[in-house]
Amino acid sequence: MVTTTPTDSKAVRFNYIRDPAEIYRRSFAAVREAADLSGLAPEMEDVGLRLIHASGMPKIVRELAFSDGAADVGRAALAAGAPVLVDVEMVAAGIIRDRLPAANRVICTLGDAAVAALAREYATTHSAAAVEFWKPHLAGSVVAIGTAPTALYRLLELIGEGADKPALVLGFPVGFIGAVESKQALSKHAGGVPFITLHGRLGGSALAAAAVNALAGERS
- d(Cα 17, Cα 23) in Å, to the nearest integer? 7
Closest by alpha carbon to 169, among 61, 86, 105? 86
Torsion of CA 36, 42, 43, 47, to 10 degrees: 10
Task: Look up 199 and say whether it is catalytic.
Answer: no
* End-to-end Cα spacing for the chain: 60
Please give the Cα distance from 152 to 76 (Å, whole number): 22
- At 170, the amino acid letter reads L
CA distance 201 to 173: 8
Catalytic choice (53, 126, 189, 199): 53
Q: How does DSSP classify residue 12?
A: P
Q: 59 vs 55, 62, 98, 107, 176, CA distance in Å? A: 10, 6, 29, 31, 20
Q: How far is CA 217 from CA 2, 22, 47, 102, 202, in A?
A: 56, 18, 10, 11, 24
Q: Which residues are catalytic?
A: 53
